[in-house]
Amino acid sequence: MQPPKSEPSPAPALREIQRQFATGIMRPLTREQTMHPEWIDGRPSAEAVGGFIKPNDRLSSIERLEIYNRQYWYRLLDCFYEDFPGLRTLIGDKPFSAMAEAYLTKYRSRSFTLRDLGQDLGKFLEEEPQWAGKHAPLAHDLVRLEWAHIVAFDSEMLPPVDLDELLGQGPETLRLGIQPHLTLLTCDYPVDTYLLATRRREEPQGGASHAMAEQRKKKSARKVPRPREEKVWLAIHRHENSVYYKRLEPAAHALLAQLREGKTLAQACEAAAVLGDETFGEKLKEWFTQWASFGWFVRPN
């Protein structure tokens, strides 16, 4: 059975009210954590909001909508705060909040789950690198790693293939898929060690929102040294429900990338061998044995 249709409902008055409500709550708060005094059409917000929200004996129309305006931003920023501890540590709490607000204004959530909230952050930082200042290249690497961590945490794990079963197939025709939870990254900075250091200083999740605000100040006082430029090749994956950042040799990384692109084993090896040294042939068996033990190989699409 198919789900119901995805067209908007014919309830025009309701839709108009929802548009006005969303306009109000999705605009950033002022520095004083109040609703923006001017509506998007230039009218005073009090006048615009008073047109659809009733006041009561304690709160004006705008104060009532402001409760939702605050909840919207506090919820999204808290989620962002937990999802990108590395970037927050790198650029600092205040710049991070400003950057998150700019990102969430430009890229509103398009998914039912908060898990996907940061999916366009890498793209955003490429478009607007000024938010990371002089650390833009490092921030770019870090955000890609932090998103890969989220992907590795709860993405699908397909049944791994048994390499022995495929031995009869020649390398010229053999294709192997790679687990959906595995992301391959090439980074200009050793962001894996940096992120592990920032995660180590984080408390476990599940705390209260007020308590969280107090923790933020304490943690900011403890700096994590910024890494120097050094190229690293990473596989971010899940094994026995834990997420790992595994460093790879450039040739190994290229080999996996080629297989993921759908190349045959022979083509992938040929392309990767260019990056390897004289031990490439010996290492191949070792790599495949290890990757198979992690369950990285699956049947290709």
Partner 1 sequence: MPANRFNNFTDYGIGIGLRVPHYQHILSRKPSCDWFEIISENFMVDGGRPLQVLDQILEQYRVVQHGVALYLGSTDGVDQEHLRRLKRLVKRTNTPWLSDHLCWGSIDGSYSHDLLPLPYTFEAARHVAQRIREVRDFLEVPILVENVSSYAEFHASEMTEWEFLSEVVEKADAGILLDVNNIYVSSQNHGFNPYDYLDNIPHDRVGQMHIAGHSKFEKYILDTHDNPVLDPVWKMYAHATKAIGPTATLLEWDDRIPSFDEVHNEALKAGRFCQELVRATSEV
- Chain residues binding partner 1 by CB under 8 A are 1-9, 11, 13-15, 17-19, 21-22, 25-26, 51-54, 56-59, 61, 63-65, 67-68, 71-72, 75-76, 108-115, 153-157, 180-181, 205-211, 238, 241
Q: How far is the CB of 278 from partner 1 (least distance, A)?
A: 39
Q: How far is the CB of 126 from partner 1 (least distance, A)?
A: 22
Q: How far is the CB of 220 from partner 1 (least distance, A)?
A: 22
Q: Select 156 or 282, whichever has its Cβ closest to partner 1.
A: 156
Distances in whole angstroms, Cα of residue 258 to Cα of each of 7, 151, 244, 283: 40, 20, 21, 17
Nearest to 137 by CA among 145, 125, 147, 148: 125
Note whether 151 and 181 are within 8 A (CB).
yes
Q: Select 151 or 268, whichever has its Cβ closest to partner 1.
A: 151
Q: How far is the CB of 259 from partner 1 (least distance, A)?
A: 21
Q: Select 73 or 194, whichever has its Cβ closest to partner 1.
A: 73
Distances in whole angstroms, Cα of residue 229 to Cα of each of 91, 179, 192, 198, 199: 17, 29, 13, 18, 21
Q: How far is the CB of 111 from partner 1 (least distance, A)?
A: 7
Q: Is 49 helix (H, G, I), strand (E, B) or coil?
A: helix
Q: Select 19 or 123, whichever has its Cβ closest to partner 1.
A: 19
Beta-carbon neighbour count of residue 163 at 10 Å? 14
Q: Select 173 or 209, whichever has its Cβ closest to partner 1.
A: 209
Look up residue 80 and give its amino acid.
Answer: F
Pull the structure tokens for residue 53: 């929200």
Q: Round to whole Å and give the CA distance between 41 and 20.
A: 12
Q: Round to whole Å and give the CA distance between 206 and 257.
A: 36
Q: How far is the CB of 105 from partner 1 (least distance, A)?
A: 11
Beta-carbon neighbour count of residue 283 at 10 Å? 15
Q: Select 67 or 274, whichever has its Cβ closest to partner 1.
A: 67
Q: Select 4 or 225, whichever has its Cβ closest to partner 1.
A: 4
Q: How far is the CB of 69 from partner 1 (least distance, A)?
A: 10
Note whether 224 and 197 are within 8 A (CB).
yes
